[in-house]
Structure 1
Amino acid sequence: MRHILLLLLVLAFGGVLRAQSPDEAWLEGTVVSKTDKTPLVNAFVVLRTADGVDTPFSALTDEKGYFLLKAPTGKYRLAATFVQQTIILRPSLELPAGRLQLGTLPVELTRELEAVVVAGKTPLVRYEGSTLIFGEAAFAKARGGSVLDGLTLIPGLQLEGANKLKLYGLSTLAVYIDGRPQRMSQDEVIALLQGMSVSEIAQVELIREPGVEYSGVTTPILNIKRKTRADEGIKGFTSLVGTYHQLFSEQLSTRVNLNYGRSRSYVSYTLGNKRYRETTTLSSGVVDDLRVDPRVSHQVGLGTDLTLGKGHSLGVQFLGNYADERLRFSQGMSNRIKWSNLYATLFHTFRETTAEGSRGSSDLRRDQGAMDVATKDDNRFARIALDFAHRLSSIFTLYAGAEVSRVAVDSRLTSRADELMLREWNIEGYTKLGFRLSKVSGFVGLRIAGEDRKGSLGSGLGDFFRSGTELLTSASLRYAPARDHELSLTHSSSYTRPSYRDLLGYTSVASAAFLRKGNSELRTAYRRGLSLNYTYMRAAQLELSYTDTEDPIVEAIPPMYGGGITLRRYNLDYSRTLRALLVLPLPLVSQKKFSWLALTILAAQRQWDAGHIEMTDYSAALNTQFVQHRHSFSLPSDWTVDLGVTYYSGVLYELYRIQRQWWIDASVSKRMGNLRATLSARDPFNTNIARGSYNPEVNGLAFERNWHSPRLELTISYSWGKKSVKAQDTRVRYDDLKRLTTGASEGMNTPAQ
């Protein structure tokens, strides 16, 4: 690890000392609105020849309207495209060797946009190492729909089941909005995304290898950035979702945005009534038929962003959820779960510094029907964080931050008189140095996480204590040997602490067939990864990656006593994977009224696991393949059609071997002005049945899980409200500042909408 960090630093500082080519020029400036001097964010700035022909020398403006691009010396025209308008910034420009600063470039925006015709192309995606950044054009086919409709257009991202966003069928995604994690269940996250209009998206970052600034998150992150420019007045979005999945479910969402002067506010409400069924059949003859009937949920959100000045803003957001869920089993048993959550955050930004404070609470109650047993968990959470970014030069940018968080959990079981509890303090800090040269860029980062954790597991089980420090490193080196080619090498590390529920030393009924038992001996798992990525035209990619997880936390079936099946968490010694990933998007047709995109994703993985379960040695190795092929059509009269098939071979999921699976999915959408209707189907032939076994060499326990597809869903969305254009000052956040010197890449393109 020390050698990798040292190599990156040597490359970075070596690049600074390198002499600049005599025919090489750098051009920088800031594009703002002429009327109110606010920055134009994500404006596409391009150099043209003296005859007006576009060149490949271009850049996107950042959150301050700043751009930086490199080109050969010579005579050019400078133009920009913003909100479907093309503006000539300089009709004649002499570009000498060295650095040319144009300063502030005010532009006059036209308010009548309907008559504007743009003949150019808009970038769909660009890369920053292993991070993919999708602009507004990537979600054009979802116009009039929800944020969730737009996200499912991202290549390789799909909604499995009803509530799991997965990447390449391999990794579950963590969802962030404006750089903040959404601290709620997967059902509530999906409901939130279905209730937001896709028109609110400025861009989406798919962070496949989270760095040190993300608190040791182990899964890929989907960071949704809302627009910092908004239309003046009141605008609303309403969606109605009806789902048939053996049973009927409904969801109604409404969101109202109020933008006036320097304030940007919203209020939202979602009502859900969800029902579904799944069946697990064991080789022992036990059938666990689970019905969620019903799950009634309420979700309320509100927030306000207030611009105090240029680069100076204040914001507050609240989100509350309540769910009442009844689980019914074939054996006549039933559980009832009541869950409530309230989360609030206050943030203040001044130039490159952001301070944030958040507080949350959740209460979970489980009633186990005729057994007259109930558990109740009270959770409290508080966090204070400070993040900072500073441009040291045109090459180097420094990022730093610190946070303090407090977690308190109190758990009660009616069958015991004692109370179980957890108290946890976390103090963390990070620093990251980013650099960008003509063809080489990257960063090195370090995070230190200290914890003080103690808790009580109840009578006879004692207490547990843990106090320690984790050291996490990350680094990335990117090299662009030619215009459409880029190589990147990324190192990442993260950790996963055992949840308090996994530590608890008592058994709680989770279904009619399985008992869940705690394990107070669980240790923190550490993951380290290295990936080599090659991209062509910022669209096709080939990636080779290796991950090594120490003490991974897995679920296993310990030796069975009394005929019951018990599930318990354990630590293995290690889990290692070697993976090759190939993504091939192919635009077959790209016309104004008709487009056809084919996408193929291929993945091959070798996995090695080893460890001990109770007194038994465990060792396994398995090869896995994953294939997904999709066709997306944009048709005249605002019709869109998507067809896809997904296949993966036998996989090793923790300690369970699952046989090969495949399914198809399809959707058709029609937009009629402000109204959009989508009909989608997943697995219409019920082929996606998980068949597998656990430890067949010892217990020989086989299982079959049926999700009772097909799943049919009808979504109707309606957008309403005032649509006059009004520019507003932007809110600068530390996680946006890394784009200060990012140039635009043509990438996979589409005709501008």
Structure 2
Amino acid sequence: MTLVLRAIFHWVLLIITTQSILLAQSGSLRLHVEEADKRGVFGATLQLTDRADTTRKLYAISDTAGNAFFRLATNRTYRLLVTSVGYKPVRKEIASQQMQNVLTVVMTPDNVQLQSVYVTAAKPLVRQEDDKTIVDPEPIAATSTSAYELLEKTPGLFLDPDGNVYLSSTTPATIYINGREQKMSASDIASILKSLPPNSIARMEILRTPSARYDASSSGGIVNIILKKGVSLGLTGSVNAGFNQGRFGNQYVGLNLNNTQGRRSSYLNLNYTHRNSYEQIQTNRTFSPDSILRQDAYTTFPAHVFYAGYGLGFETSRKWDLNLDGRFSWNESASSASNSNQISQVSTGRLVSDNLNQIDGTNRLVSITQGATAKYKLDTLGSEWITDLSYTFMGNRGTQDFSTQYIQPERNRTAGDGNFDSQRHLVAIQTDLKYKLTKTITFETGAKLTWQQFNSRQDYFNQRTNQRIIDVGRTNSFEYRENINSAYAQMSKTFGPFLLKGGLRLENTNMNGHQRIPTDTTFKINRTDLFPYVFLSRKVAKIAGYELRSYLVYRRSITRPAYDYLNPAARYVDQYLYERGNPALRPQFTENYEVNISMEDRPLFAIGRNNTRDIFTNVVYQDPARPSVAYRTYDNLGINRETYFRILAGIPPINRYFFVVGAQYNYNEYSGMYENKPLNFERGSWSFFTYHSLKIDNRSTLTVNGFIRTRGQLQFYELSNFGGMNIGLNRKFMKDKLMITLAANDLFFTNYYQFVLQQGSVSADGLRRNDTRRVGLTLRYNFGVRKKEERTNPFTIEPPVQN
């Protein structure tokens, strides 16, 4: 694999070098689109048509400052057409002598009422923007009930049953909301995403190789969820309601309001969901040459979820923007688990032990986030200074009642109860400066400080003859503090067909954990690390009128163990399994090399390598004193080399139909120590995904999306083939104000897997299944008057840009 990777890298570099000689002469042109009051117009569509050859067209969309950039062939004349909903079209001719100047286009408002939605600017489902992929969630949101479900349906993203999101590698991605990292466990983030309504999301940014501007703790990449804000003039909104039914049913209702008047904007999102689902895990574990433990656990999760999001925006002048935004989530849930445990003798099949565990619990999760952002526009070239301050609180409180009924050999039933309480406070302050030194040179620098305090306490009791006795094996108390200070600087320069960006990030990490119960232990981590980043992009070739651009990326990143990975307190699962953290766990470091190619700003192909040292992962060890008992923990196992490639393709609309299809291959090589013995583990897995859209008529659209994973891998668990297909049909009524969507998720009930674990002394296999097959109906009604609205058709691909 190493020789193949080197050959491809050399091949791409050869193409880059060769193509630079063949470039024709060209000139740069910057167009500034503004209103009469000099304010830039964001999202305007610009089209340049070569008068000598009208089939040659170029397209661009103005940025937040109203700027758009073109690279044009010299000695030519072009016709310019500028359109934006809410403005009258502007038409001009541009001569070749204007190509080194800044051309200003003034647009005149053309107010319209919200009636039908018209196509004036096309947006692709997936597009590439420098080092990040932009996903338009609108077509997927119509058939989803939450942000979590929307991520599950996004082509190229994969979620495991624990809520981890995977991009290119087998290391989970880091989740951001509005550019802020969510420092939570996977289960806590999953709870937040399940409470977030899908139609509150404006776009998703996928950064597989984030630059030095972002935290280095993102080895698996970043998924940044950008929420909608009040961007339309006037009062607008929507109400939505729906349900879906699997083995259990979900119901939800929501309200979205947007209001912009002058330089003030605001939005409010309210959503209530009642949901229920189940999980079934069957496990067979051999713990001695002639003994096997068979477990069958079935758990239901009913919940009531309330979500509220709000935002206020102020444009105090032509240069200052101030925004306040907040989110509140209340999740009142319960769980009921029934776990059958049987121990049998393999040689004879004789049943040695049979018992039944019952665990009933309640849980209340409260999440509050408040943020404030100030942006200062330094000039019209795009220079800006952004400062962001945020505070997040999460409180998790619950109870448990558990009992064990012994069927064989028969003996008295045992029972107990417990309660737990955890609180997390997170404060983050970040400032970023982007300065355009020239038209081709951009300098970026910034600093960030995060502080986190986490407190956890669990009290458990056993019931004995009407007395509650403390269960020392489950009771624990844990405190954790984390402070990370960072600063970065990076610069990008455009020269000819090349774009070069390089940066360096410094991070100072301070982690302090203190377990008070059952034993008094303390661990501390204090370290300072440097993380370089290099990004090179250039035009490679043009095939059939489509421009190909290649990207070379190198970055270094860190994965820090989370608080629950470090907590040494034992956490009881059942009498045969418990969990505990590892306070000696070291952070892992990853070096990533990637080559990728895009076509007309749409990702096409990528190949890369992740080299990770001190890799830590979830492992299962067998208790040497009690062979029937195992415990899960985390450990540093050695090094991992992961090679991957990804391909994504699609077609423009043909008779109102288009599709996106892709594949990804991951090959992992582990080398290290496991249970003080040499570990060598290799596995390759394939992932295939697709998205289809058929516009039946002007009001009806059919969508189909799905995925297949073959020879999947989850830590050291080897998974069977699994996948899922989702289908949705939506139709508009009442002058396109009402949309009704019928959706079916996991239509063939194939989104479950069998697993095998063969590591060290642990030999296990089993099955994991969830309530994934569901059929549902959603209604959404839009209301209000919009004077300026970006009306787009997400099922349309932009025409190719030509030089």
Normalising by the smaller structure, the TM-score range is 0.7 to 0.9
What is the deviation of 1:377? 1.7
How has the CA–CA distance of structure 1 residues 122 and 518 changed in structure 2, closer, same or farther, with 3 Å as cutoff?
closer
1:224-373 pair list within 5 angstroms: 224-225=225-226, 230-283=231-284, 284-330=292-338, 331-351=357-377, 352-370=384-402, 371-373=416-418
Post-superposition CA distance 1:99-157 (Å, at most 9, x none)? 1222x32111322487998788666654234422356xx84686899895987885434
Post-superposition CA distance 1:623-649 (Å, at most 9, x none)? 212223443212104222223442222
Q: Which residue of 1 aligns with 2:107?
A: 107
Post-superposition CA distance 1:362-383 (Å, at most 9, x none)? 1222423143233322211112
1:501 corresponds to 2:550: no
What is the deviation of 1:325? 2.1
Q: TM-score, normalization: structure 1?
A: 0.85
Rounded Cα–Cα distance in structure 1 between residues aligned with 2:429 and 2:55: 47
Matched-pair contact (CA < 8 Å) for 2:229–2:258 = no
Matched-pair contact (CA < 8 Å) for 2:614–2:637 = yes
Secondary structure at the residue paired with 1:96?
helix
How has the CA–CA distance of structure 1 residues 172 and 82 changed in structure 2, closer, same or farther, with 3 Å as cutoff?
farther
Q: Which residue of 2 aligns with 1:425?
A: 483
Q: Which residue of 1 aligns with 2:451?
A: 406
1:351-750 pair list within 5 angstroms: 351=377, 352-370=384-402, 371-414=416-459, 419-458=477-516, 460-483=519-542, 484-510=547-573, 514-539=577-602, 541-560=604-623, 561-562=625-626, 563-587=628-652, 589-591=653-655, 595-672=656-733, 673-695=736-758, 698-725=761-788, 748-749=797-798
Which amino acid in the other structure matches residue 472 of structure 1? F
Secondary structure at the residue paired with 2:592?
strand
Secondary structure at the residue paired with 1:700?
strand
Which amino acid in the other structure matches residue 332 of structure 2? D
Matched-pair contact (CA < 8 Å) for 2:393–2:426 = yes
Which amino acid in the other structure matches residue 312 of structure 1? W
How has the CA–CA distance of structure 1 residues 167 and 393 changed in structure 2, closer, same or farther, with 3 Å as cutoff?
same
How has the CA–CA distance of structure 1 residues 46 and 294 changed in structure 2, closer, same or farther, with 3 Å as cutoff?
same
Matched-pair contact (CA < 8 Å) for 2:212–2:531 = yes
Matched-pair contact (CA < 8 Å) for 1:129–1:477 = no
Post-superposition CA distance 1:49-79 (Å, at most 9, x none)? 3479364344322111012212122222222
Matched-pair contact (CA < 8 Å) for 1:57–1:70 = no
Q: Which moved more, 1:218-227 or 1:431-440?
A: 218-227
Matched-pair contact (CA < 8 Å) for 1:175–1:182 = yes
Matched-pair contact (CA < 8 Å) for 1:277–1:289 = no
What is the deviation of 1:452? 1.9
How has the CA–CA distance of structure 1 residues 716 and 155 changed in structure 2, closer, same or farther, with 3 Å as cutoff?
same
How has the CA–CA distance of structure 1 residues 228 and 626 changed in structure 2, closer, same or farther, with 3 Å as cutoff?
closer
Post-superposition CA distance 1:417-471 (Å, at most 9, x none)? 9842122221101111112233111311111110222221235352111110121
Secondary structure at the residue paired with 2:304?
strand
What is the deviation of 1:696? 5.8
Q: TM-score, normalization: structure 2?
A: 0.80
Which amino acid in the other structure matches residue 566 of structure 1? Y
How has the CA–CA distance of structure 1 residues 395 and 89 changed in structure 2, closer, same or farther, with 3 Å as cutoff?
same
Rounded Cα–Cα distance in structure 1 between residues aligned with 2:170 and 2:782: 34
Q: Which moved more, 1:603-612 or 1:53-62?
A: 53-62
What is the deviation of 1:512? 8.0
Matched-pair contact (CA < 8 Å) for 2:182–2:189 = no
Q: Which moved more, 1:146-155 or 1:515-524?
A: 146-155
Q: Which residue of 2 aligns with 1:27?
A: 29
Matched-pair contact (CA < 8 Å) for 2:52–2:77 = no
Q: Which moved more, 1:143-152 or 1:446-455?
A: 143-152
1:82-121 pair list within 5 angstroms: 82-83=84-85, 87-90=89-92, 92-96=93-97, 99-102=100-103, 104-112=104-112
Rounded Cα–Cα distance in structure 1 between residues aligned with 2:260 and 2:300: 40
Secondary structure at the residue paired with 2:89?
strand
How many equivalent residue pairs? 709
CA RMSD of aligned residues (A): 3.6
What is the deviation of 1:511? 6.6
What is the deviation of 1:191? 4.2
Q: Which moved more, 1:186-195 or 1:484-493?
A: 186-195
What is the deviation of 1:193? 4.5
Rounded Cα–Cα distance in structure 2 between residues aligned with 1:222 and 1:683: 24
Which amino acid in the other structure matches residue 208 of structure 1? R
Matched-pair contact (CA < 8 Å) for 1:545–1:578 = yes
Secondary structure at the residue paired with 1:501?
helix
How has the CA–CA distance of structure 1 residues 182 and 252 changed in structure 2, closer, same or farther, with 3 Å as cutoff?
farther
How has the CA–CA distance of structure 1 residues 645 and 390 changed in structure 2, closer, same or farther, with 3 Å as cutoff?
closer
Matched-pair contact (CA < 8 Å) for 2:368–2:393 = yes
What is the deviation of 1:21? 9.5
What is the deviation of 1:586? 2.5
Rounded Cα–Cα distance in structure 1 between residues aligned with 2:133 and 2:106: 30
Secondary structure at the residue paired with 2:193?
helix
1:3-22 pair list within 5 angstroms: none
Rounded Cα–Cα distance in structure 1 between residues aligned with 2:561 and 2:100: 52
Matched-pair contact (CA < 8 Å) for 1:145–1:676 = no
How has the CA–CA distance of structure 1 residues 397 and 510 changed in structure 2, closer, same or farther, with 3 Å as cutoff?
farther
What is the deviation of 1:390? 0.3
Rounded Cα–Cα distance in structure 1 between residues aligned with 2:367 and 2:50: 57
Rounded Cα–Cα distance in structure 2 between residues aligned with 1:636 and 1:85: 28
Post-superposition CA distance 1:310-337 (Å, at most 9, x none)? 1301121221222222221113222322
Which amino acid in the other structure matches residue 450 of structure 1? N
Secondary structure at the residue paired with 2:496?
coil
Structure 1, unpaired ranges of 5+: 1-10, 728-746
Which amino acid in the other structure matches residue 363 of structure 2? I
Post-superposition CA distance 1:340-388 (Å, at most 9, x none)? 2211111211121111211122122242314323332221111211111
Rounded Cα–Cα distance in structure 2 between residues aligned with 1:554 and 1:748: 41
What is the deviation of 1:550? 1.6
Q: Which residue of 2 aligns with 1:43?
A: 44
Structure 2, unpaired ranges of 5+: 1-12, 285-291, 339-356, 378-383, 403-415, 460-469, 791-795
Q: Which residue of 1 aligns with 2:413?
A: none
